[in-house]
Amino acid sequence: MPDQDALPSPAEVTGGRSPDLGRHRETVAAVLARRDPRLLVVAGPCSVHDPGAALEYAGLLADAAARFADDLVLVLRAYLEKPRTVTGWTGLLPDPTLDGKGDLAAGLRLGRQFLVEAAATGLPLAYEFVDPVLAPYVADTVSWAAIGARTVASQPHRQLASWLPMPVGMKNCVSGRISPAVDGIRAAGRPHAFPGLGADGRMKTLRSTGNPDAHLVLRGGPAPNHDAGSVAAALAGLTAAGLPRRIVVDASHGNSGKDHNRQPAVVADLAAQLEAGTDALAGVMLESYLADGRQDPAVLPADPALSRTDACLGWPRTVPLLARLALANHHRRVRSSVSS
């Protein structure tokens, strides 16, 4: 048999939960339900590869969160797992040394430490759950979760979403199809019983009551779907399924053609929709980091400030986008107050 490395139980790794976690989750849920008129903005690196540099970025984002607090709820993209179409670096949790050695036990401890320190900045944290087995190690630090384009049709991921105690965004498929994500939202809203890892590291039956805050994330596909027509079509699909009309739009991935230089144009389009009064547009996602672009993941040592997965907008180019979204949401709030 292949070598088997023992892993710590979740109870051995977890601890240090942010005292603001409950408030952060309630705020995110309120923004998505439009009880809070602000705009949710999930920003950060494609995948964290250097905890120290990512904490530096978190400090910058925390300052921006205070600056734009009247109109934006900023959430740190603290992704530690990286989904792959075929192969490649799978993230800090499964491969903390970035070289394919797969020291998962070390990755769980390092990743958990990063999440606790990132939460200490006062920011809510966002996380994409790639491997459901690893969820108990990190879920109690997360305020907004994502189920990705490659796993949104997976039953275990839908069951996990029903169990997670925070809002969960379901991304449309890589093909651009929205219906699997809509079905995922419906499935996540229902109770499930499924196998999962207990705090003691033993498998057990997890029972969920359903997640009322699951929602759609438009991330594009072969063609973008961030424009007003695509948003309206997605809303019609949600209405037909009997689901709340609330959408988060990812400005990267398929909506930018995986070109970080196109994210500002996507944000400009979304800002125009906000100013036109589109209330169902609840959030925006940005791939943003300290430096602009990406590095070759095969080259080590890695540059701490440069994404080693998808190319990101550098911080100097991110701040104007946050300001643009804040101004657009301000106009939306004013427009709404006048019409009411």
Q: Evaluate whether residue 5 is within a structural domain.
A: no
- Is residue 329 predicted with pLDDT exceeding 90? yes
User: How much is the pLDDT for 16?
Assistant: 74
Q: Is 158 in contact with 214 (CB distance < 8 Å)?
A: no
Q: What are phi and psi of 113, to 5 degrees?
A: -60, -40
Q: Evaluate whether residue 4 is within a structural domain.
A: no
Q: Evaluate whether residue 299 is within a structural domain.
A: yes
Per residue in 128-165, pLDDT (tens digit) is 999 999 999 999 999 999 999 999 999 999 999 999 99
Per residue in 170-220, pLDDT (tens digit) is 999 999 999 999 999 999 999 999 999 998 999 999 999 999 999 999 999
Considering only CA atoms, which of 227, 307, 220, 223 is closest in space to residue 267? 227
Per residue in 59-109, pLDDT (tens digit) is 999 999 999 999 999 999 999 999 887 788 999 999 999 999 999 999 999
Give the other-Cβ count within 10 Å of 210's Cβ: 14
Residue 340 confidence class, pLDDT cut points 50, 70, 90: low
Which residues contact residue 79 at a Cβ distance below 8 angstroms, ignoring those fewer than 6 apart? 44, 45, 46, 47, 48, 91, 126, 127, 128
CATH number, domain with residue 265: 3.20.20.70
- Is residue 6 predicted with pLDDT exceeding 90? no
Which residues contact residue 137 at a Cβ distance below 8 angstroms, ignoring those fewer than 6 apart? 10, 13, 14, 93, 108, 111, 112
Q: Evaluate whether residue 1 is within a structural domain.
A: no
Mean pLDDT of 284-309: 95
Residue 3 confidence class, pLDDT cut points 50, 70, 90: low
pTM: 0.96
* Partner residues linked to 77 by β-bridges: 126
Mean pLDDT of the chain: 95
Number of domains in the chain: 1
Q: Is 156 in contact with 172 (CB distance < 8 Å)?
A: no
- Is residue 2 predicted with pLDDT exceeding 70? no
What the block records as the tokens of 167 is: 């809002």
Per residue in 39-52, pLDDT (tens digit) is 999 999 999 999 99
Q: Evaluate whether residue 184 is within a structural domain.
A: yes
- Cα 58 to Cα 157: distance, rounded to the nearest angstrom: 28
Say which amino acid occupies 124. Answer: P
Return the minimum-mean-pLDDT range out of 9-23, 31-45, 242-256. 9-23
**What are the Cα distances from residue 220, in Å, to 256, 275, 282?**
8, 22, 17
Domain that holds residue 283: 10-339
Q: Evaluate whether residue 3 is within a structural domain.
A: no
User: How much is the pLDDT for 5?
Assistant: 80
